[in-house]
Amino acid sequence: MTKGAELGKGLKIGDTFTPNNVFCAPLAGYTDFAFRKLCYSFGAGLCFTEMVSAKGLKYNSEATRQLLYRDKSEPQTAAQLFGSDPHILREACESADLEGFRLIDINMGCPVPKVYKNGEGSALLADFPRAANIISECKKSGKAISVKFRIGLERGRVVAADFAKLCEDAGADMITVHGRTRDMYYSGEPDYAAIASAKAAVKIPVIANGGVFSRADALRMLDETGADGVMVARAAMYDPHVFSEILGGNDVWDRRAAIEVQTADMLLFYGEKYTVVQMRKMASFYLRGMRGCAQMRAKLFTCGTISELRAVLDEIFASNRVSD
C-alpha cells in the first residue's frame, strides 16, 4: 500500500490551493460562517458550507441562500450542494449565489431518509449514469468540482473504487471518501481498505473521511489509505481546536474566548434570538470535559438572551478556575 501524503501538506484542487490537507467537513446545522472562521483560526486547510439544496436556490429560498453567507475574512471556503437534477445543479453552480465560490462540492453521501428517498445524497451511489451526468454538467460551470461520497449503500456491497473512477472520468477535481456505507450512518470503524481502493483507482486528490478525532487518527488514516488528506467532522463540532492538535500544535485552547468570538460574529448576521439558540448548543459541546459542565448544561439551555448565556458561562468558567 502506498503511504499517504504528509500531514499538513498543501493541496491543489482545480485552481484552488489549500495551505494544508486537514479539512473541515460540511455539517448540517453547524458549519455556518462563524463556526468556519473558528476552524480556520485553528488551522483548518479548507472548510465547507452546510449542505445546500440546489432546488432551494432555484426557487429563491431565502433560508437556503442564507446558508451560503461568507465573512470577508474567510479563505477559500467551498460550497456543498445536493440534488438529483443535473441541470438544476449546474444552474446553481452558475448562479449569482455561488459567484464567490471557486470550489463546489457535490454531496453523494448523505444517508438521511428524506434526502435518500428523493434520489439525492447517497442514493446516487446506485445511479452511476445520473451521478456522472451531475458531475459533468456542474463541471461546465467552469468551477472546480469535488464529490463527497460513501463507500456504498450496504456493508458487503462496496463500490468505492468504481465510483471514484466514475467521478474522475466525469471531470471531478477531487473526491472525499467517507469510509462507511449508508446503513452504518456514523457508527462503526471506517473501512480503510475501501478508501485505499478508491485512492488507487484515480489520479485526482482523495480526501479520507470517517473516524478522525485526533492526530493519531489522522496519521493512521493517511498511512492505511494512501489518501492525500483527511476530513474532520464530528470532532470539529465538539472541539474546533482539534485542527491545531492534528497539525501538531501545542497551544492551549481558550474556550471562553472562542465562544465569545463565535457569539459576536453570529449576532451581527443572525440577531439575538437565533444566536442564543445556536450558541447554547455549541457552548454545551465546547464545555465537554470541564468540571460541573453536566450539571450546568441544563441551566445553559434555559438562557433566553445573550446576557443570560454569558452569565452562565461566567459561572461555569469561574467554578473551574476555583477547582483547579
Report how far residue 227's alpha carbon sits from residue 243's, in angstroms, rounded to the nearest whole number.
18
Catalytic: which of 39, 110, 138, 167? 110
Indicate if 138 belongs to the active site. Answer: no
Nearest Cα to Cα of residue 27 among 167, 248, 209: 209
Contact status, residue 272 vs residue 263, Cβ threshold 8 Å: no
Report how far residue 202's alpha carbon sits from residue 237's, in angstroms, rounded to the nearest whole number.
30
**SS3 assignment for 216-249:** HHHHHHHHHHCCCEEEECHHHHHCCCHHHHHCCC
Residue type present at position 95: S
User: Where are the extended beta strands (E) located within the chain?
Assistant: 11-13, 16-18, 22-24, 46-53, 78-82, 103-108, 144-150, 152-154, 157-158, 174-178, 206-209, 229-232
Nearest Cα to Cα of residue 258 among 20, 22, 19, 39: 39
Residue type present at position 273: K
C-alpha cell at 81: 450542494
Per DSSP, 314 falls in state H
Cα radius of gyration rounded to whole Å, the chain: 20
| Count of other CB atoms within 10 angstroms of residue 126 | 15
- In our burial notation (b when 16+ CB lie closer than 10 A, e otherwise), range 69-97 reads ebeeeeebbbbbbbbbbbebbbbbbeeeb
By annotation, the residues acting in catalysis are 110
